[in-house]
Amino acid sequence: MSQILALRPFVPAQDFAVSKRFYAAMGFTQTYGDDDIAMFKQE
């Protein structure tokens, strides 16, 4: 049986900068980012 190692949902945003600040304020750490996509993690 396979084991899930990661889940990366895509959540669209009307304002990308505001969305990134929101997740940072919620305690997430940005692990990757460019002009079109950002990845966050929370431990």
pLDDT at 8 (0 to 100): 87
* pLDDT tens, position by position, 1-43: 789 988 888 989 999 999 999 999 999 999 999 999 999 998 8
* 7 domain-assigned: no
Q: Are 26 and 39 in contact (CB under 8 A)?
A: no
* 34 domain-assigned: yes
* 20 domain-assigned: yes
* 28 domain-assigned: yes
**29-33 and 38-41: which strand pairing?**
antiparallel
Q: Which residues contact 13 (CB under 8 A, 6 or more apart)?
A: 19
Number of domains in the chain: 1
pLDDT at 43 (0 to 100): 82
Sign of CA dihedral 2, 9, 35, 26: negative
Least Cα distance to 40 among 32, 25, 12, 13 occurs for 32
pLDDT at 2 (0 to 100): 86
